[in-house]
Structure 1
């Protein structure tokens, strides 16, 4: 594997870097937690971004009907007080009284009905439609009761209602529309978004009127600022100077060197995020695309040194991965996946059989983790696949892939912290906008698995899907991710495997 040499940020950089400009200085003295990341959501609405930073902000500003405790995994009432199945496709939900949105509007059934029916409509242009497309519609029973009508039985319904399905204020959203909402968003969550600055970040203020019976605590920290700092070394230097309080995705070698710094705390571990290569098996990027040939796709699988990537680059508990899902997710049968051992000779042989004895040129698209992508490029070059990096934003890559322009892509997916393979395999192989395989058998198996109330039936059909995806090498799963967090030693912060920093739990020491 061609490992990209990394140089730890020297301590002197902290004293010479120009501090990123934002309105508040990070410190417990002014009770402002500043966290930095490399990417900016294309829209602050949680339904209109697939970026993890958007998910994090969404959990701070909005609430869902149900809450899943990250420690116990138990479902608890949030905006809903209780729920019951009337039959396999009708879910009756009673709602909490006395909750208000950040703008003072009262929360009621009208908001739930509007949110889901709007997101289900084509006009919403929601980017993660799989999170709600199991619903047919939602109807109002009374002011504090709603009925969710499902298209078919969906055993993972509670997992989704506790995840990427926040509730919007109906009256306000209708008044300002999506564009206005993205500039001045309103939720019921523990923090109020007070400012959205395009290209720079987001300001949040503690919601002092947050409802007392919420399963999450009233925040201890009064203000949060999210700042966008694309360069990794600059983020680290900003942390070292005290310009920011918290960063993540710190490369493992740099995380190790930072552990010796008395003013910082460094922690990390494996997360639910996985990395993978997606290949253009349908030839939409070019009529003569090499990736239309199964042997070429299998050659890519054999060319990648997954173990080296996990142990030498990602580290922190990362594992080589051969299945297109995270191991703990329901239905993720690791034994069903074809395991392509690292074998460059086998890869070259398959390329020769496919008519590419001299290899070929291609582009590889990516939006993050440049060091991992460079390692993949190095492995591919060893077997004759000369890949040129096309680096762009997440939104641009998603749009290019949906338009059929991408021959090969390095991507990652965290499943929205949903511990069910429907959040990844069905999201990408069930005929939706992100399905680049268009495999009719997969569509049938996944439709059965997603809707059966029999766990054995679900597991068997997911097993078939995993076997087909890996046999046909539509994806080349690579590794599980680990995430390193580095933050001020003045901060109490707990990391979770779902890669969702819960800043409402954070406090100053």
Structure 2
């Protein structure tokens, strides 16, 4: 399998920035051969890095204010959300920003999984489809406006309205409406019983400011967002990142405590080697998605810390089972889809490329989610001979040509392409920005795509299989049986009934080979040694909990 070197970025088309604040710039591509670095192709050791340090500082055009001395945490990733509004992007980078800028009604404690009061101080289940919330008084938005029931009612009614154009409909399509009971009390009406309501409210349903949003609209809100969260935005530069300052008026009883770091900057740095070079020379303080071999080299550096762990993000292929991408699409044939599943070396992907605690995956959900029954899956072991036989039975004894779309993890996709080529399927890579790929996928124009999904950190199968197979915009399969079982599972109050319906849905998804589930991700984080940082399996870096040593 190919060695991991770098991962291209996913870039947004949006071109808005705050003109009143000079945008900060990312590091230019390094004007020297990065193979001389300790993470380069020649495997050179850490000792040989001394000369490269001087070169990097000489040629880098970025002067970063990073680190403990400036009370500024600079974190970097390879992608940026298409829109900073948490309802209008579904990239993990957007989820991270959302947790810094906005608050939810409910907080799920990441250490014990308990639901705790956040913007709501208490809640009561009135009946199967009604929840009353008592709201916290004295909370202010970043512009000084008070947080009241009007903001909650506005947010909940806005996100379920057609004009909102929420990207991940599954996160809110269980909400019917909200009504104001008093200045600090709200009633939430559900369309049907929905047992994971608090799980969603604590993760994917942040509160917006009614007055400000109605003044500026989604376009203005995206350029200059306002929330109640622990950090407030001071600058946005598309393609470069976001600057944030600690919110001095953050409410004192927040379950996540007070922000401890004065400034947090998010930087978009496309190239993996450039990110690591910036980390080693003080341009950034934190990054992630570090390749296993690079992580091992970084562990030898005394001023850096590398931590690793499994995450709930899963990688998978979506196969065009309905044949919408072309009239003669081979993906319409069950045996072709099964052949693709048998052709892929999941064990090799998990152990050799993803590394760490990654495990092969056979089911269309994350095993730690409620209702994710791994025994429901058909087991497609790596068997190229069986894949070739199935292709021949389907009428493709010599294989066929197709396309595979992707937006991230090019090295993983290239390994998959190699597996497919070995059985006669020649897949041409179409590498797009995430938003462009999502539009193509939803438009039924993609024969096969590599995707990754973190379920918005929601520990319920409704957020994984439900997002992709329940008739929502991301459901390209539109299997009425699967949709029915998933709907039943979402609305049943009896936990066992929920599990039984999820199992039926997952079993059919697997038998029909609508997907080729591949692996769960394992994450390598690298950061400066004077930063207190704790990773969590839900793949949500909680910088509000971080501090300087």
Name the TM-score, length of structure 1 as normaliser. Answer: 0.98
CA offset at residue 3 of structure 1? 3.4
Whether 2:496 is the aligned partner of 1:456: answer: yes
| Corresponding residue number in structure 2 for 1:467 | 507
CA offset at residue 20 of structure 1? 6.3
Q: Does the C-alpha gap of structure 1 residues 4 and 381 become closer, same or farther in structure 2, counting only changes over 3 Å?
A: farther
Worse overlay, 2-11 or 241-250: 2-11
In structure 2, C-alpha distance between the alignment counterparts of 1:21 and 1:317, rounded to whole Å: 37
Kept in 2: contact 1:14–1:238 (CA 8 A): no
Q: Map 1:470-481; keep pairs closer than 5 Å.
A: 470-481=510-521
Q: Map 1:47-62; keep pairs closer than 5 Å.
A: 47-62=87-102
Q: May I ask how many residue pairs the two structures share in their alignment?
A: 508
How large is the RMSD of aligned CA atoms in angstroms? 1.2
User: Per-residue CA shift, 1:18-55, capped at 9, x if unaligned?
Assistant: 77666742121111110000001100000000000000
In structure 1, C-alpha distance between the alignment counterparts of 2:184 and 2:279, rounded to whole Å: 46
In structure 2, C-alpha distance between the alignment counterparts of 1:372 and 1:177, rounded to whole Å: 39
Which of 254, 262, 283 is the aligned partner of 1:243? 283
Whether 2:175 is the aligned partner of 1:176: answer: no
Which of 441, 453, 464 is the aligned partner of 1:424? 464
In structure 2, C-alpha distance between the alignment counterparts of 1:27 and 1:365, rounded to whole Å: 38
Which of 10, 16, 21 is the aligned partner of 2:55? 16
SS state at 1:438 partner = coil
Q: Tell me which stretches of 4 or more aligned residues in structure 1 moved more than 3 Å.
A: 2-7, 12-15, 17-24
Name the TM-score, length of structure 2 as normaliser. Answer: 0.91
Kept in 1: contact 2:342–2:383 (CA 8 A): yes
| Corresponding residue number in structure 2 for 1:130 | 170
Q: Map 1:94-493; keep pairs closer than 5 Å.
A: 94-493=134-533
Q: Does the C-alpha gap of structure 1 residues 278 and 69 become closer, same or farther in structure 2, counting only changes over 3 Å?
A: same
Which of 54, 59, 70 is the aligned partner of 1:30? 70
In structure 2, C-alpha distance between the alignment counterparts of 1:15 and 1:169, rounded to whole Å: 48
Q: Does the C-alpha gap of structure 1 residues 401 and 260 become closer, same or farther in structure 2, counting only changes over 3 Å?
A: same
Whether 2:128 is the aligned partner of 1:88: answer: yes
In structure 2, C-alpha distance between the alignment counterparts of 1:410 and 1:15, rounded to whole Å: 39
Structure 2 stretches lacking a partner, 5+ long: 6-34
In structure 2, C-alpha distance between the alignment counterparts of 1:205 and 1:313, rounded to whole Å: 37
Kept in 2: contact 1:20–1:238 (CA 8 A): no
Structure 1 stretches lacking a partner, 5+ long: none
CA offset at residue 216 of structure 1? 0.8
User: Per-residue CA shift, 1:191-225, capped at 9, x if unaligned?
Assistant: 00111111110000000110001001111110011
CA offset at residue 364 of structure 1? 0.6
SS state at 1:63 partner = coil
Kept in 1: contact 2:4–2:353 (CA 8 A): no
Q: Does the C-alpha gap of structure 1 residues 23 and 127 become closer, same or farther in structure 2, counting only changes over 3 Å?
A: farther
